[in-house]
Amino acid sequence: MTPSSMSYLQRSVASSLAQQPAVRALLRFLRQQPLGALGLIGIVTMLVAGSFAPQLAPYDPLAARFDATLQPPSAQHWMGTDNFGRDIFSRILYGTRPALLLGISTALIGSLIGTAVGTTSAYFGGRVDAVLQRANDVLLSIPLIVAALVVVAVLGRREVAGLDVNLMIAITLPYIPVMARVMRSAALPVRMSPHIDAARALGFSHLRIMARHMLPNLVSPWLVMVSAFTAQTILLEASLSFLGVGVHEPTPAWGLMLSGVSVETFVSAPWVVLFPGLAISLTVFAFSLLGDALRDALDPRTRH
């Protein structure tokens, strides 16, 4: 194949992709929301770093070298070493995995369950609504970090495929009432719409009405809440790891890198806590930028 034909083929593929509705919507979002585009680039960068950590990390994140403890950033160790001589840059790359895996998975699970509860509450109303909302009030009265600590303390640790399932439950449970309250508020106007009354008059089942006629109208607030929950989950996981009830040694985790001896060596070796803290801050900032951009792009009141 000649270079000219290759160039023509590439232009044709690019042109056909640009004509896809999803691609056009993404390009329009990136053009109209530059801060959201910046946040999306940051998230994609973190996903790539976590996915290809074994190829990108220059050192084994678990290998201790006591002849290279607390070395400052250099050409050999870009972010220095910790008190065990482990390369901080390699540990931050590997720490991206539990942060994003826990953040995204728990945000999705909590959002889906909360959406089901909120939609059910708004659709049926009456006693069902009253019971579900009182249960939400009880759960919302418990601080997020306290609820997570209680669940972890009661359930202990149980790892499946290297992931602490009980830690996921501890982080997911406090998000359900928050999501249920938000989605109930968004579903109430939809429930009063004429097309919902028409669907009920046609004899459609309650499950079909909620799934096919209500939930598609709730996608916008759902996306915004998922991005917000993901950022909050990364902070919560780091807080639990810092307190010793989250991800445990020797798994590389950003919150774990901030705890223990790292706090004591902050004055003499600030890079030990500086770079993990920056990783947490930048990741949370990226998800926050994306969430704000999605809110502005999907909310008809602020779209223009």
**Residue 161 above 70 pLDDT?**
no
Domain ranges of the chain: 28-55+87-185+219-298
For residue 60, the one-letter residue type is D
Task: State residue 8's pLDDT score.
Answer: 45
pLDDT band, residue 113 (cuts 50/70/90):
very high
**Residue 261 above 70 pLDDT?**
no
CA gap 92, 81 in Å, rounded: 11
Name the average pLDDT for the chain: 81
Render pLDDT for 121-136 as a digit per residue (tens, 0 to 9): 998 888 988 898 888 8
Angle, CA of 181, 185 and 188, to the nearest 5°? 130
Name the CA dihedral angle for 46, 280, 76, 268, rounded to a multiple of 10 degrees. Answer: 180
CB atoms within 10 A of CB 63: 11
Render pLDDT for 191-238 as a digit per residue (tens, 0 to 9): 888 888 888 888 888 888 888 888 888 888 888 888 888 888 888 888
pLDDT band, residue 152 (cuts 50/70/90):
confident
Minimum mean pLDDT range among 75-84, 185-194, 290-299: 290-299
pTM assigned to the model: 0.79
Render pLDDT for 8-34 as a digit per residue (tens, 0 to 9): 444 544 454 445 667 777 778 778 888
Render pLDDT for 69-110 as a digit per residue (tens, 0 to 9): 888 888 888 888 888 888 999 999 998 888 888 888 888 898
Domain 28-55+87-185+219-298 superfamily per CATH: MetI-like (1.10.3720.10)
Q: Locate 103 and state its tokens.
A: 């953040």
Mean pLDDT of 144-168: 73
Residues 6+ apart with CB under 8 A from 117: 132, 136, 176, 179, 180, 183
Residue 159: strand pairing partners = 164
Residues 6+ apart with CB under 8 A from 181: 118, 133, 136, 140
Minimum mean pLDDT range among 13-17, 114-118, 119-123, 149-153: 13-17
Task: State residue 148's pLDDT score.
Answer: 75
